[in-house]
Amino acid sequence: MSQLAGKPVHRNATDAIWASQSKAPAADKALGSEFAGARPLLLLLLMTLLGALLLLSLALGSASIPVDQVVGVLLYGEADQQAWTNIILKFRLPKTLTAMFAGMALGVSGLLMQTYFRNPLAEPFVLGVSSGASLGVALVVLTTGATGGALLAGLGLAGDLLLIIAAGLGAALTMSLVLFVAVRIQSSATLLLLGLMFGYLVAAMVSLLLYFALPERIQAYINWTFGSFSGVTIAQLPVLALIVLAGLLLSAALSKPLNALLLGEDYARSLGANLDRIRIGIVLATALLASAVTAFCGPIAFIGIAVPHLCRALLASADHRLLMPGSCLAGACAALCASLIAELPGNNLVLPLNVVTALMGAPVVMLVILRQAQGKL
């Protein structure tokens, strides 16, 4: 399970970090100046990089396909060889689009959590959404027994859909509980602690199920926890896309309130912000984005922590009107890079996705911790 590093306190070094990052948006005029200079060009560069990674993801794999043939399939629906057309449309295109949507969701939801909790190590799954999804999958996979396990494996795509439904129901239940608490509790630190405690409680329940499960069922559950972008079919993709787009639109609407929150709740309240609505909006957007990714792809680690920090460093800005699209684009790029590395183009070996994301994201988090210790953030 993903857990939050660091203590959720208000008046400490963590607040100093966010205070130093939020000097720029101290007033509306200062916020407008964030769009000056090269930042729009950097966003354009991220868009160009994303386009290149999309083409590479469709072209590279166990069978390499020329880029011009990939473009031909995307524009005209066919390549010189029918096998290439089938590989792109039936396998690589769903996986590539899934990685793009998942990266966008994780990047933006990580940004929301880090701003709301004023903690640079907060992540999308800190509210326990991933834990709820994991419990749903564990109940299906670990309690089926030998006969049920064989039946689940034999269902093919239907079995995968059952796991998605189980994860989605677990995440939805968690989201409902978090929203119920968020309406009644004003303190973000209390909400954070409740999310962490729920995560520990669910982890204990999953460990109990693992203890009594059959070995082959344990292996099936472990495989799910590795994460994967290749389990979503072209028919399931619109559902993932709709949920992610809804979460992204809600997040974009919160850009200005998030800028105000950088200087504290008192400052945001003085500007006339409705903190209750902002809190509910942040929790709902994060829950939608995180639950969609977990249900369809498994618990994808580190992208949600690392991407917001990369965007702040790249754009040199604390303005969420820049960071929101930046995190969206950078998250998609990071997910596609992880997918490409995991596939090891040219080989049949596929690495666990969370192994790759950890190798990519852990150095970023380590750098954040070191810079925090040195007081440079």
Q: Report domain extents, the chain.
A: 54-373
pLDDT, position 346: 62
Which residues in the chain land under pLDDT 70? Answer: 1-38, 144-161, 345-347, 372-373, 375-377
Q: How far apart are CA 209 and CA 265, in angstroms?
A: 42
Q: Which of 223, 222, 192 is nearest to 128 (CA)?
A: 192
pLDDT, position 198: 82
Pick the CATH number of 54-373 from 1.20.120.160, 3.20.20.60, 3.40.50.10320, 1.10.3470.10: 1.10.3470.10
Give the count of beta carbons closer than 10 Å to the beta carbon of residue 73. Answer: 21
pLDDT, position 155: 42
pLDDT, position 37: 58
pLDDT, position 15: 47
pTM, 2 dp: 0.82
pLDDT, position 273: 76
Residue found by looking up tokens 């790759």 in the block: 356
pLDDT, position 4: 43
Q: Which amino acid is at 296?
A: F
pLDDT, position 318: 84
Tokens read off for 314: 């790249």
Give the count of beta carbons closer than 10 Å to the beta carbon of residue 7. Answer: 11
Tell me the CA distances in angstroms from 156 to 162, 177, 224, 297, 343, one per residue in order: 10, 32, 15, 16, 22
pLDDT, position 52: 94
